[in-house]
């Protein structure tokens, strides 16, 4: 009998929920736009301003906060709950009965002083309900895709997921993500604050902050029903080095923000609004990369919020429109393609401004669960792939496990890209995306299953160096050229100076030692294999280190 009562209660609760509608209320203007833009530190951190300046991103009205008087007026309206707000869209996400939401628009002149129109339009999440002022689905969801320095990376199988993209080469070259900031949008991060696998992350001050946008608090470690965020973070930042087990994530020295935007209890468009809100905060904090292992196109049964396949066009879904703005703001978005077993990618992975990551197995073959691209997307999707079948991860109990999904191929690659961007932080998000695609295994013959293929981050790094027209030297009195080198490497030293040149491969193994001077100013590099090399040049004034490419 108890079970029947529980079922009836749930039915009654569901009926109550279904009487509620979700909608986006767009506001007419913002307060003191000019003053805010003239004083950007009132709304953005210095790190955010530095990142924007580095990439030529201007500050505009979208950075200005929403008018809180408008938000308060909507909160005080009868039958309305405000669940989220967005400065980029100048909008709030509300829930209430349809008539209550419609009354917001009808009675807005009575909601705020001085009396005026402050709502420009209202768009219902159930688009069959229409819109006020301006009109503004094969279906499935993939909330989480859990389907089935010299580092010791662990056993050969575990090592494969980083070797596949040559992320280990970047580590050996000295690029481990340091200086790059990553925001992870997910559903929960249990025990990250206590696990030994993240002790180095915490002790070195690289776990910057966290926030739960669903429950509106700063507890992302206990008030959660999923360990998914912990697994995702481990792919990038996990580190274990003991006598019995070893693990290294793809960006162990990057810095991280942890944001909960996914409500594990149901699937509702408000989660799109939580994500946009988190992306706005990430922008204001100066985040470089957003990793998202979430996707939306199919919501809870009984609702009418589902997107149609044709809506996956890179510009329709609310979360996709938010991702497009995040890209304009200079951030790089690395997003899971989804686990749809032959169906197409969801939002925001449909955006051309998102680097969408599919999944392969340890052999580099297409993983059957990985979502595919369609002609609805304006660009090839997925963009690229990484190992998502039987990925090695660390769970909330500090155990190394395997799990599958594009949820994990995306952070594996996001970490690798963090290391790549560290090498040349002046590059834009668009340039980094192009380099990753161009390095991939089937760049000249992409398809809807693997996109451009498996990236080669060593090749991408080489391409960056090849594009760099500056001298290799970090000392303005010493020059090594050409870079890339071919048969000879020339060394230009200060007058009457001489030096000892030590040549290493990227693993740190010394290849040879040479004595050079302005009279004996070159070494023979014709027998070197193609790839990256490190030169240590010792002079009476100290030691300089150079990274060079052999073509």
What CATH number did the domain enclosing 487 receive?
Answer: 2.60.40.10
Pair 68, 193 in one domain: no
Pairing assessment for the beta strands 207-212 and 255-260 based on DSSP bridges: parallel
| Helical (H) or strand (E) element with 412 | helix 406-423
Name 16's Cβ contacts closer than 8 Å, sequence gap at least 6.
none
The answer as to whether 144 is a domain residue is no
The answer as to whether 134 is a domain residue is no
Pair 250, 395 in one domain: yes
The answer as to whether 405 is a domain residue is yes
Q: Which of 465, 491, 516 is the last residue of a domain?
A: 465
Separation of alpha carbons 63 and 130, rounded Å: 29
466-503 CB burial, b ≥16 within 10 A, e <16: eeeeebbbebeebebeebebeeebebebeeebbbebbb
Pair 208, 109 in one domain: no
Separation of alpha carbons 248 and 163, rounded Å: 12
Pair 447, 493 in one domain: no
Pair 83, 209 in one domain: no
Please report how many Cα atoms fall inside a 13 Å half-sphere around the Cα of residue 355, on the Cβ side: 31
How many domains are there within the chain? 3
Name 176's Cβ contacts closer than 8 Å, sequence gap at least 6.
149, 170, 251, 252, 253, 254, 419, 422
37-74 CB burial, b ≥16 within 10 A, e <16: beebeeebeeebbebbeebebebeebbbbbbeebbebb
Pair 373, 488 in one domain: no
Pair 487, 434 in one domain: no
pLDDT of residue 508: 65
Separation of alpha carbons 46 and 378, rounded Å: 35
What are the structure tokens assigned to 197, written together? 């696998």
**Could you give the dihedral angle defined by the CA atoms of residues 539, 541, 542 and 548, in that order, rounded to the nearest 10 degrees?**
-60
Residue-level pLDDT, tens digit, the chain, 551 residues? 333 233 333 333 444 444 789 999 999 999 999 999 999 999 999 999 999 998 889 999 999 999 999 999 999 999 999 999 999 999 999 999 999 999 998 888 888 776 678 999 999 999 888 788 643 333 333 444 333 366 888 887 888 999 999 999 899 878 899 999 999 999 999 999 999 999 999 999 999 999 999 999 999 999 778 999 999 999 999 999 998 899 999 999 999 999 999 998 888 999 999 999 999 999 999 999 999 998 888 888 777 889 999 999 999 999 999 999 999 999 999 999 999 877 899 999 999 999 999 999 999 999 999 999 999 999 999 999 999 999 999 999 999 999 999 999 999 999 999 999 998 888 999 999 999 999 999 999 999 999 999 999 998 987 776 555 444 444 557 888 888 888 999 988 887 678 999 998 765 678 999 999 988 999 999 999 887 788 888 888 777 778 788 87
What CATH number did the domain enclosing 442 receive?
Answer: 3.40.50.200
**Residues designated catalytic:** 186, 228, 407
Name 243's Cβ contacts closer than 8 Å, sequence gap at least 6.
none
The answer as to whether 141 is a domain residue is no
Model-wide pTM > 0.75: yes
Separation of alpha carbons 368 and 390, rounded Å: 13
Pair 498, 461 in one domain: no
Q: Which of 406, 440, 465 is the last residue of a domain?
A: 465
Pairing assessment for the beta strands 255-260 and 181-186 based on DSSP bridges: parallel
What are the structure tokens assigned to 456, written together? 């080669």
Pair 429, 517 in one domain: no
Pair 500, 371 in one domain: no
Pair 381, 269 in one domain: yes
The answer as to whether 333 is a domain residue is yes
Q: Which of 124, 159, 182 is the last residue of a domain?
A: 124
pLDDT of residue 143: 45
Write down how long the chain is: 551
**Could you give the dihedral angle defined by the CA atoms of residues 203, 288, 225 and 19, in that order, rounded to the nearest 10 degrees?**
150
The answer as to whether 13 is a domain residue is no
Separation of alpha carbons 1 and 242, rounded Å: 53
The answer as to whether 145 is a domain residue is no
Tell me which residue of 104, 97, 91 sits closest to 132, measured CA to CA: 104
Q: Is residue 288 within 8 Å of residue 332, measured between CB atoms?
A: yes
Enclosing domain of residue 98: 20-124
Pair 57, 179 in one domain: no
The answer as to whether 9 is a domain residue is no
């Amino acid at each position: 009998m108890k079970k029947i009562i529980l079922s009836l209660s749930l039915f009654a609760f569901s009926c109550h929920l279904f009487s509620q509608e979700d909608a986006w209320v767009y506001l007419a203007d913002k307060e003191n736009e000019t003053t805010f833009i003239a004083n950007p530190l009132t709304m953005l951190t210095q790190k955010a301003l530095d990142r924007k300046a580095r990439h030529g991103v201007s500050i505009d009205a979208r950075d200005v906060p929403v008018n809180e008087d408008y938000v308060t007026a909507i909160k005080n309206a009868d039958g309305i709950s405000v669940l989220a707000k967005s400065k980029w869209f100048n909008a709030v996400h509300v829930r209430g009965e349809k008539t209550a939401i419609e009354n917001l628009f009808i009675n807005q002149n009575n909601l705020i002083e001085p009396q005026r129109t402050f709502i420009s339009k209202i768009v219902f999440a159930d688009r069959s309900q229409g819109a006020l002022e301006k009109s503004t689905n094969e279906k499935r969801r993939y909330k989480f895709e859990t389907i089935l320095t010299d580092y010791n990376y662990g056993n050969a199988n575990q090592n494969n997921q980083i070797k596949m993209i040559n992320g280990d080469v970047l580590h050996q070259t000295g690029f481990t993500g340091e200086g790059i900031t990553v925001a992870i949008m997910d559903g929960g991060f249990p025990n990250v604050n206590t696990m030994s696998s993240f002790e180095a992350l915490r002790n070195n001050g690289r776990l910057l902050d966290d926030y739960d946008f669903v429950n509106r608090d700063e507890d992302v470690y206990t008030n959660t029903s999923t360990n998914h965020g912990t697994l995702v973070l481990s792919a990038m930042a996990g580190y274990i080095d003991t006598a019995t087990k070893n693990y290294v994530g793809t960006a162990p020295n990057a810095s991280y923000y942890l944001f909960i935007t996914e409500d594990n209890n149901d699937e509702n468009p408000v989660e799109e609004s939580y994500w946009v809100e988190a992306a706005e905060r990430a922008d204001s904090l100066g985040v470089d990369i957003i990793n998202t292992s979430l996707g939306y196109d199919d919501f809870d049964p009984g609702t009418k919020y589902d997107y149609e396949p044709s809506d996956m066009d890179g510009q329709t879904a609310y979360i996709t429109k938010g991702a497009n703005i995040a890209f304009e703001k200079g951030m790089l978005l690395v997003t899971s393609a989804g686990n749809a077993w032959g169906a197409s990618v969801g939002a925001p992975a449909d955006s051309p401004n998102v680097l969408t990551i599919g999944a392969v197995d340890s052999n580099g073959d297409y993983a059957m669960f990985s979502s595919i691209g369609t002609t609805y997307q304006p660009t090839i999707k997925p963009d690229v792939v990484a190992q998502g079948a039987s990925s090695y991860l660390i769970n909330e109990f500090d155990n190394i496990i395997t799990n599958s999904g594009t949820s994990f191929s995306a952070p594996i690659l996001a970490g690798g890209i963090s290391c790549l961007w560290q090498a040349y932080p002046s590059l834009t998000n668009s340039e980094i995306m192009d380099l990753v695609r161009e390095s991939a295994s089937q760049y000249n013959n992409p398809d809807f299953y693997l996109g451009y293929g498996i990236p080669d981050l060593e090749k991408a790094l080489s391409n960056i160096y090849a594009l760099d027209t500056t001298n290799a030297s970090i000392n303005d009195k010493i020059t090594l050229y050409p870079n890339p080198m071919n048969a000879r490497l020339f060394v230009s030293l200060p007058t009457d100076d001489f030096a000892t040149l030590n040549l290493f491969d990227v693993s740190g193994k010394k290849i040879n030692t040479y004595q050079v001077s302005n009279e004996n100013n070159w070494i023979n590099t014709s027998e070197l294999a193609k790839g990256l090399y490190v030169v240590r040049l010792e002079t009476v004034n100290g030691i300089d280190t150079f990274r060079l490419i052999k073509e």
